Amino acid sequence: MKKLIGIALSVLLFGCSDSVSNSRGVYLLLDTSGTYTKELDKAQQIINYLLGTLDPGDSLVVARIDSGSFSEKDIIAKATFDSRPSVANAQKRAFAGKVDQFMKSIKGSAYTDISGGLLQAVEFMNEAGVGKKYALIFSDLKEELPEGFVRDFDLTLDGFSVIALNVTKLRSDNVNPQEYLSRLEDWKVKVRQGGGEWRVINDLDREDILNIS
């Protein structure tokens, strides 16, 4: 009933106004470094959850984090779902197929360029003009760059929600947990300084806590 009244009022108030973009954009970065590839089954679970949750008009991109991630070539699958639900469902099926294929043929990378991947996500999402922007990082957040790669730039993350998923503890973290905590803190500071919102979710059994709405 409230919804009906709200709609009636919005028709009266904004009847002549332009339509506003309320669509959501989700950019999921998958860490494909050697040690982390074992965790990618869980990533597929997240992707499937997102495919089931996103509405027509929303965008979803899945890209990998490898040695140099600031590149369109790292995008595994991307789609802006059609406004018609039936077409959007077909797109989601195709998307799931592509991701499935990727998961079967995955090769581990030597380095982990998370910053490059995040920058690529920011560029892509700003260009797509989506309303609500989410960057999901499925990684242990341990950045390892090839020699000569520079990633000491400031990210501009206004309007972004950056969510770190399944941040696994490395062997060295077990020796010195402060390393793990510092890693998380560094990323938190980096994202917040860029104007974004930072969250960490490690319990992937409850996908709904992603709270992408």
Binding site for other proteins (CB under 8 A): 1, 3-4, 6-8, 10-11, 13-15, 17, 19-23, 44-45, 48-49, 51-52, 55-57, 82-86, 89, 92-93, 96, 100
| Nearest one of 164, 128, 132 to 53, comparing CA atoms | 132
Please say which residue, 103 or 119, places its beta carbon nearer to other proteins: 103
Please say which residue, 24 or 183, places its beta carbon nearer to other proteins: 24
Measured between alpha carbons, how far is 87 from 82 in angstroms, rounded to an integer? 6
Q: Quick one: 57 exposed, middle or buried, by C-beta within 10 A (0-12, 13-18, 19+)?
A: middle
Task: Report whether 121 contacts 163 (CB < 8 A).
Answer: no
Least Å from the CB of residue 82 to other proteins: 8
Measured between alpha carbons, how far is 65 from 67 in angstroms, rounded to an integer? 7
Measured between alpha carbons, how far is 199 from 188 in angstroms, rounded to an integer? 8
Please say which residue, 56 or 159, places its beta carbon nearer to other proteins: 56
Least Å from the CB of residue 128 to other proteins: 13
Please say which residue, 49 or 149, places its beta carbon nearer to other proteins: 49
Least Å from the CB of residue 18 to other proteins: 9
